[in-house]
Structure 1
């Protein structure tokens, strides 16, 4: 205890199902990853109406990404590494295999947002809050997935979720929803990077267009019917690395779920971008036609 600080997340009785789901997700050892919050144990405490359910995890004093971005401006190097760690975490969730090659059941987070990302250190983030995450087990039926309902945070919901037209027969659909939400978080990080020019005060995606907690109907009007997305000003695109990042973000929040990049593809892009490996530049295209920019990426 003296060398390792822990955090305790407490669920009241009425949130038992969320605690149960999150503890089941966490106890799958294949979830372990540097970009996923470290889980220690789950406990239930007390009796009767005072009964509580605990999740004990690693503690990160820098707090969540939303609060961190509101207080800090990121360097280009910080942005690459923090965003890269987030993408790496999502790619691990979605993967059929662990880093060492063992088979695993893919997981869809279903509520990726900046308050569900913790800042581990100056250049790393971890995903947290798996209360509505779902294991994409091929053994489950369409009815099992249909019963999971329309979940998540309205501001970060993908168009197909807002429209309640998710293809439940294709498990990739759940990953595509995560990628859309991840793109909004990447935009939040990009908006606070010093290379964009004038760094404005931190703002949530669609912040100037909606209330602090917009409802599904409001987001449906903006995202689904209006095809609206957070603004990417032309000043962001002067820096070649940021231009490439913005192109990636745009592909991740495409209106067509099947046109979006996979988290694995985005992770590959970040890996190659950070290491600026000219030998591998052709690989970074994945399923897009965007060329790898020339010039110095790390400046």
Structure 2
């Protein structure tokens, strides 16, 4: 949208949430965070509001709102789904990467609260990741104690099994990325559930929506995900479409119970970007023409 570049959004933190504002500001002010699938940061400042102090983060504004609300109102075509999924995984892959797109070294970042309400819908059905209040820079100079002090975080519905069990390997920085990949898989499932190629598209539901309350607690999710090994359902009719079958296989590998068995965000991005090119009409037409020749 043309207005995207003219309008901005202000996120206001009360003084009680100073630490979250400080963390998000520090993450955002790192120039290497810039990416087309990460919310564009403009500035951070503190403001006096009467007797109370407020903390502001000012970013680009996206009128379509967050992905959760968008999916509740819209059904996606296969092309829409490909664009949205690709932009999401490209964003997560960028956060996790040791390098920027230009090849400059960067410190990887674990988001730690990936969910559909922390993803905004940009123009042309592309997504940007937002809300870095509990994100963590995976700086190799930090110790396991530093990471342990960063706290048990995230939203219970999207927590990986090892987080629910409090058995995260703090010695290995990859552990933090593996948690993000699990959460990302649930968001990809949400997108897939609203795509017209699955046949009858049901009303939008959050992951595990029919099994839990609107804001399930950690104990509830521990019973379902950890002890019951439950995951959102992938019905058989989703697998009839070749591209959707491929996406569902990828999702399943991303929410594996074993963190080390999960795909990396970089691998998922390569898979989805490659498959998107394979399934474009122009590619298929060229293949058909070559076959005829």
User: Which TM-score applies when normalising by structure 1?
Assistant: 0.91
Corresponding residue number in structure 1 for 2:236 = 234
Separation in structure 2 between the aligned mates of residue 48 and residue 152 of structure 1, nearest angstrom: 32
Mapped contact 1:188–1:203 kept (Cα < 8 A): yes
Q: For each residue in 1:251-293, what CA deviation from the matched residue of structure 2 results, as whole angstroms up to 9, or x when unmatched? A: 0000000000000000001110111189xxxxxxxxxxxxxxx
Mapped contact 1:117–1:128 kept (Cα < 8 A): yes
Coordinate RMSD, CA, aligned: 1.5
1:101 to 87, 103, 110: 103
- Residue 47 of structure 1: how far off its partner (Å): 6.3
Any unmatched runs of 5+ in structure 2? Answer: 281-286, 289-293
SS in 2 for 1:168: coil
Mapped contact 1:179–1:253 kept (Cα < 8 A): yes
Q: Which runs of 4+ in 1 moved over 3 A?
A: none
- Residue 220 of structure 1: how far off its partner (Å): 0.1
- Residue 235 of structure 1: how far off its partner (Å): 0.4
- Residue 49 of structure 1: how far off its partner (Å): 4.6
Corresponding residue number in structure 2 for 1:126 = 128
1:140-219 maps to which residues of 2 (within 5 A)? 140-219=142-221
Separation in structure 2 between the aligned mates of residue 201 and residue 108 of structure 1, nearest angstrom: 31
User: Which TM-score applies when normalising by structure 2?
Assistant: 0.93
Corresponding residue number in structure 2 for 1:39 = 41
Separation in structure 1 between the aligned mates of residue 49 and residue 193 of structure 2, nearest angstrom: 47
Q: How many residues align?
A: 279
- Residue 18 of structure 1: how far off its partner (Å): 0.2
Corresponding residue number in structure 1 for 2:11 = 9
- Residue 92 of structure 1: how far off its partner (Å): 0.0
1:264-279 maps to which residues of 2 (within 5 A)? 264-276=266-278
Separation in structure 2 between the aligned mates of residue 122 and residue 70 of structure 1, nearest angstrom: 18
Mapped contact 2:157–2:216 kept (Cα < 8 A): yes
Corresponding residue number in structure 2 for 1:287 = none
Taking a change above 3 Å as real, the CA distance of residues 33 and 173 of structure 1, as seen in their structure-2 partners, is same
Mapped contact 2:253–2:262 kept (Cα < 8 A): yes
Mapped contact 1:13–1:49 kept (Cα < 8 A): no
Separation in structure 2 between the aligned mates of residue 83 and residue 56 of structure 1, nearest angstrom: 26
Separation in structure 2 between the aligned mates of residue 266 and residue 48 of structure 1, nearest angstrom: 48
Mapped contact 2:81–2:195 kept (Cα < 8 A): yes
The reply to whether residue 66 of structure 1 matches residue 82 of structure 2 is no
Any unmatched runs of 5+ in structure 1? Answer: 279-294
Taking a change above 3 Å as real, the CA distance of residues 214 and 249 of structure 1, as seen in their structure-2 partners, is same
Corresponding residue number in structure 2 for 1:262 = 264
Corresponding residue number in structure 1 for 2:284 = none
Separation in structure 2 between the aligned mates of residue 154 and residue 148 of structure 1, nearest angstrom: 17
- Residue 98 of structure 1: how far off its partner (Å): 0.1
Corresponding residue number in structure 2 for 1:91 = 93
Separation in structure 1 between the aligned mates of residue 277 and residue 237 of structure 2, nearest angstrom: 25
Mapped contact 1:40–1:58 kept (Cα < 8 A): yes
Mapped contact 2:70–2:121 kept (Cα < 8 A): yes
